């Protein structure tokens, strides 16, 4: 099938070819052709020059039972991140108020858990209700969810649930061994059925091949419904994690910025309606690289000078970049 062969009846736009071969063909395009095509798709489905601002808060840090090779919060890592308890709802609400005042439209709460325990649910539901009352969109990422937990969060007013597939099905077990790719799909299914919007993406630069990047986008685009939001992270190498140490010892190279932008563009073309979020790793990206990501279809970032345990660009740098590029926030 070629990229223009089917018509999207809702928008009278060509449907993308989301087969592995179709996605591979996108990666093979000359870079400027690929970015131009992605930008055209972007303009068809999203407001121009608008980038959504989200703020991230770690509500439960460290001591996680999973062994994700990139993560400072895994109990298997020697990153120096200490295990903490779930923070209280008043602290969360104060941070959300600050985020709103700084122009954020979405507030995302992250917990270093394999899955939330039953005893944590009342506090989590309280946080959702109170952040939502501030008029912010709410998002959580808490690990695996049962269908009952997903339903309870949806009922409390949680708008988005973030749960990443992280990489291709083939590369997955090289990065994480304590849960399977299918476990991720099961939680995504519970989230989708609960009525919440799905935020699902992954990390580039974990030693994956281009074939893996194609398989990763293929897995996302062929979910029963494509994710509403697709975070694309560049690996932030953290000392004491398996992948951070591999990068320091150099068998693993950082993702090439052009290849990252190609992946953003291919995500935009294959998931035309999704918000594509330029997530972790922006600190080590040039301004020109970020500008090309926006050109290629990225339309959301995390603001503030912290992600979960690592740094982020900070509001001043982002405001300066937005002013240079003529970008404004979209809620
Ligand atoms: N524990 C929950 C889970 O894993 O589903 C939620 C928190 S977890 C930190 C959220 C996501 O952050 C991960 O799925 C991963 O994609 C991303 N992430 C974590 N550490 C990262 C790193 N060092 N570099 C880039 N992205 C990272
Ligand atoms: C996602 O894909 N990226 C965000 C969000 N979902 C929760 C997390 C990035 C974490 C980066 C590493 C850290 O700060 O510990
Ligand atoms: Fe735990 Fe999430 Fe980190 Fe994996 S990415 S170790 S599940 S906090």
What percent of the chain is modeled with pLDDT above 70?
Answer: 95
Mutual angle of helices 181-194 and 147-156, in 10-degree steps: 40
Which ligand ends up closest to the CA of 184? 1
Position with higher pLDDT, 11 vs 33? 33
pTM for the whole structure:
0.94
DSSP 199-239: E--EEE-SS--HHHHHHHHHHHHTSSS--SEEEEEEP---T
Q: Is the pLDDT of residue 7 over 50?
A: no
In whole angstroms, what is the distance from residue 331 CA to residue 327 CA?
13
Residues with CB under 6 A from ligand 2: 56, 72, 108, 110, 141, 162, 164, 201, 231, 233, 236, 279-280, 307-310
Residue 154 lies in a domain: yes
Domain residues for 295? 20-330
Rounded mean pLDDT, 213-236? 97
pLDDT in the model for residue 12: 59
The predicted-structure confidence for 120-132, as pLDDT tens digits, reads as follows 999 999 999 999 9
Residue 53 lies in a domain: yes
Instruction: Give the HSE-up count for residue 75: Cα atoms under 13 Å, Cβ half-sphere.
Output: 9
Distance 69 CA to ligand 3 centre (A): 9
Give the total residue count for the chain.
331
Structure tokens of 194?
Answer: 């609960």
Q: Is the pLDDT of residue 62 over 90?
A: yes
Which ligand ends up closest to the CA of 229? 2
pLDDT in the model for residue 247: 81
Distance 244 CA to ligand 3 centre (A): 15
Distance 301 CA to ligand 2 centre (A): 11
Residue 15 lies in a domain: no
Highest mean pLDDT among 10-24, 167-181, 237-251: 167-181
Residue 107 lies in a domain: yes
- CA 240 vs CA 92, 106, 202, 287: distances in Å: 29, 31, 21, 29
Residue 8 lies in a domain: no
Rounded mean pLDDT, 261-269? 98
Q: In the chain, how many domains are there?
A: 1
Q: Is the pLDDT of residue 33 over 50?
A: yes
Q: Is the pLDDT of residue 216 over 90?
A: yes
Could you give the residue numbers annotated as active site?
64, 68, 71, 108, 139, 199, 277
Residue 85 lies in a domain: yes
Whether 238 lines ligand 1, by a CB cut-off of 6 Å, is yes
- CA 220 vs CA 19, 160, 172, 228: distances in Å: 11, 16, 14, 10
Residue 202 lies in a domain: yes
Domain CATH number, residue 85: 3.20.20.70
Residue 71 lies in a domain: yes
């Amino acid at each position: 099938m070629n990229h223009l062969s089917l018509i999207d009846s809702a928008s009278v736009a060509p449907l993308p070819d989301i087969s592995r071969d179709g996605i591979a063909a996108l990666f093979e395009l000359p870079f400027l052709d690929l970015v131009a095509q992605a930008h055209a798709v972007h303009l068809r489905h999203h407001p121009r020059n608008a980038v959504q601002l989200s703020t991230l808060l770690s509500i439960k840090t460290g001591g996680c039972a999973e062994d994700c090779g990139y993560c400072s919060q895994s109990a298997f890592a020697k990153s120096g991140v200490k295990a903490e308890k779930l923070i209280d709802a008043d602290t969360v609400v104060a941070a959300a108020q600050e985020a709103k005042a700084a122009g954020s439209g979405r507030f995302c709460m992250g917990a270093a858990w394999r899955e939330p325990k039953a005893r944590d649910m009342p506090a989590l539901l309280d946080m959702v209700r109170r952040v939502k009352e501030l008029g912010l969109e709410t998002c959580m990422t808490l690990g695996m969810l049962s269908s009952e937990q997903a339903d309870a969060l949806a009922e409390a007013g949680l708008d988005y649930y973030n749960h990443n597939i992280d990489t291709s099905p083939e590369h997955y077990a090289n990065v994480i061994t304590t849960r399977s790719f299918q476990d991720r799909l099961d939680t995504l299914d519970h989230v989708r059925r609960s009525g919440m919007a799905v935020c699902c993406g992954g990390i580039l630069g974990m030693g994956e091949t281009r074939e893996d990047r194609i398989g990763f986008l293929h897995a996302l685009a062929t979910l029963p419904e494509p994710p509403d939001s697709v975070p694309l992270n560049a690996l932030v190498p953290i000392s004491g994690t398996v992948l951070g140490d591999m990068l320091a010892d150099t068998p693993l190279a950082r993702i090439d910025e052009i290849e990252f932008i190609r992946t953003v563009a291919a995500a935009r073309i294959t998931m035309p309606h999704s918000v594509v979020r330029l997530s972790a790793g922006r600190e080590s990206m040039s301004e020109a690289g970020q500008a090309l990501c926006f050109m290629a279809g990225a339309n959301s970032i995390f603001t503030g000078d912290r992600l979960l345990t690592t740094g982020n660009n900070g509001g001043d740098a982002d405001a300066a970049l937005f002013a240079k590029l003529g970008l404004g926030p979209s809620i």
